[in-house]
């Protein structure tokens, strides 16, 4: 398929990207491409098969298997964020491979936090083909307190789970700020999610932006 036909929802953790994508995919005849879903089910193994092509990703995966604390607890959050950005760039090559392999005419909605503004920008026919959802600091804290998978890494092998979680939260804050900075520099739209609107309202805002490019039902 053609990359210029893709609609992109990127952004930061805990902003409701997946929920918005699910709502739009239910309203329109769109195929949803979920970054995390494909990453968990094929990207890691494909990256391991080509270590020279994906060095940062393989370093992360190997360290995670050997000593999770060396990934989550020991590094400074700034170093974690820098390494994550290198991994995102490598993972995006796998995303592109997945997308171009789809049949011509597929109407695709891609979402995920690894879909960064600088990676997507070269493939956009217009700035309205992408949007980035980023939680405010206050809403992030609310999500961390109420969403189980946000409040804990869930890795039983960690020796210092508390520090690992603190590092993760700060890393995610740095990556969220990076999304806003990149998108602003590239002239791409950002929605700051603060919890004042329910998920359906945020989805409607994204729908309004995407409407000129959304397919219609045949029947």
pLDDT tens digits for 150-172? 888 989 899 999 999 999 999 99
Question: Using one digit for the tens of pLDDT, what is the confidence trace for 76-116?
Answer: 999 999 999 999 999 999 999 999 999 988 999 999 999 99
Three-class SS of 165-195 = HHHHHHHHHHHHHHHHHHHHHHCCCEEEECC
- The helix (run of H) or strand (run of E) holding residue 50 is none
Give dist(CA 147, CA 126) in Å, integer: 34
How does residue 3 score in pLDDT terms, banded at 50, 70 and 90?
Answer: very high
The per-residue pLDDT for 41 is: 83
Q: Where are the domains of the chain?
A: 3-212
CATH of 3-212, one of 3.30.420.40, 3.40.50.300, 3.50.4.10, 3.40.50.1000: 3.40.50.300
Using alpha carbons only, give the angle 89, 57, 114 rounded to the nearest 5 degrees. Answer: 40
Listed residue (155, 184, 149, 194) closest to 169, CA to CA? 149
Inform me whether the pLDDT recorded for 218 exceeds 80: no
């Amino acid at each position: 398929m053609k990359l210029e036909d893709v609609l992109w929802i990127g952004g930061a953790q805990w902003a409701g990207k997946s929920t918005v994508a699910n709502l739009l995919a239910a309203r329109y005849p769109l195929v949803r491409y979920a970054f995390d879903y494909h990453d968990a089910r094929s990207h890691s193994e494909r990256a391991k098969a080509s270590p020279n092509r994906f060095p940062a990703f393989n370093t992360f995966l190997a360290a995670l298997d050997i000593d999770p604390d060396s990934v989550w607890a020991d590094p400074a959050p700034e170093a974690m964020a820098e390494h994550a950005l290198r991994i995102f760039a490598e993972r995006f090559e796998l995303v592109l491979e997945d997308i171009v392999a789809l049949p011509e005419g597929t109407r695709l909605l891609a979402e995920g936090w690894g879909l960064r503004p600088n990676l997507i920008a070269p493939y956009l026919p217009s700035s309205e083909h992408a949007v980035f959802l980023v939680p405010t600091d206050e809403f992030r804290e609310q999500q961390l307190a109420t969403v189980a998978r946000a409040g804990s890494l869930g890795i039983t092998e960690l020796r210092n789970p508390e520090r690992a979680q603190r590092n993760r939260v700060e890393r995610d804050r740095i990556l969220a700020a990076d999304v806003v900075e990149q998108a602003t520099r590239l002239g791409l739209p950002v929605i700051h999610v603060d919890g004042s609107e329910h998920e359906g309202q945020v989805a409607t805002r994204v729908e309004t932006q995407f409407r000129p490019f959304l397919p219609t039902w045949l029947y």
